[in-house]
Amino acid sequence: MTSLPIAGRARRAALAVALCAGLSAGLTACGEDPDAGTNGVGRLSAQEIETKARAAADAAASVRLSGTLVSKGGTYKLNMRLKHEGATGSVTSKDNTFELLRIGDSLFLKADAGFWSHADGKQDAEPTEADVEAAQKLGDKYVKVPEGDPSYKQFRGFTDMDVLLDGLLGMQGKLSKGDRTEVGGVKTIKVLAAEGEGGVLDVSLIGEPYPLKFARAGGAGVLLLGDWDKEFPLEEPAKDETLDYGGQLPKTSGD
């Protein structure tokens, strides 16, 4: 007469094991704590996580930003190391790659002759003799961009840590929490805006809650953020590698 209750208990135990196995991927059942060993932000609301990520980014002294940016019909690949007093790195557009170096207000641009020979943005036009002559002088040199030049503000924007982060990490829409995953081997939690249509932010669950990855709204690029608060040197290029063009540069559009 006791075999039936024992059999019932066995079936219930088997069912519990099956449920645990099915839920283990999310670490949300069977005694598992998904936030064990983390910084605890995974327990917060989506809005609170995004706020903490913003605060961590604002307080950081430096960051490496890489990935793609779609803006004004063009696609750029960024690989920039940024801090408040300057930056160094490269930007690649459809037709060109150029290096940028900023130390304080001094901004240097380095590109090959092909970039300068089409500096007016007319990539399909045959460069004039004057274009070729200027390009030969400017190519593969660090050209100091005059602060009064129309292109100064545009190029500086790629080197300004605060402006770049504020402009690129915007979330559009109601926030919600997404899956726990990893970025570069670091545990993260996703924050979704408008169910992902308004951007998806991966926030670190280890150490400071830095933003580690951001998929921009409307397919406008995916950015990786790393090396938070890691110091790096900024040095002006040697004099024999530098050309102070003076006056106004050719009409550099940056594409």
Per DSSP, the three-state class of 91 is: strand
Q: pLDDT tens digits for 51-107?
A: 999 999 999 999 999 999 998 768 999 999 999 999 999 999 888 899 999 999 999
Sorted by sequence, the CB contacts under 8 Å of residue 141 that are 6+ apart come out as 110, 241, 242, 243
Tokens of 213: 């990855």
Residues 191-249 pLDDT 10s: 999 999 999 999 999 999 999 999 999 899 999 999 999 999 999 999 888 887 665 56
Report if residue 40 sits inside a domain: no
pLDDT in tens, 32-61: 788 889 999 999 999 999 999 999 999 999
How far apart are the C-alpha atoms of 212 and 168, rounded to whole Å? 13
Is residue 156 domain-resident? no
Count of CB atoms situated within 10 Å of the CB of 83? 18
Rg (CA), the chain: 25
In-domain check, residue 2: yes
Q: Which residues have a Cβ under 8 Å from the Cβ of 213 and sit 6 or more positions away?
A: 183, 188, 201, 202, 222, 223, 224, 225
Domain assignment present for residue 229? The answer is: no
Q: Name the pTM for this structure.
A: 0.78
Q: In which domain, by residue range, is 5 found?
A: 1-32
Residue 8 lies in a domain: yes
208 neighbors 56 (Cβ within 8 angstroms): yes
Decide if 19 is inside a domain.
Answer: yes
pLDDT digits (tens, 9 = 90+) for 118-130: 555 554 556 666 5
What residue has token string 């050209």?
Answer: 143
Average pLDDT of every residue of the chain: 84
Q: What is the DSSP letter of 234?
A: -
**Dihedral (CA of 41, 42, 43, 45) sign:** positive
Whole-number pLDDT of residue 191:
98
Domain annotation covers residue 68:
no
Note whether residue 181 is domain-resident.
Answer: no
Calculate helix-pair angle for 161-168, 150-157, nearest 10 degrees.
Answer: 70
**Domain total of the chain:** 1
Least Cα distance to 137 among 111, 113, 114 occurs for 113
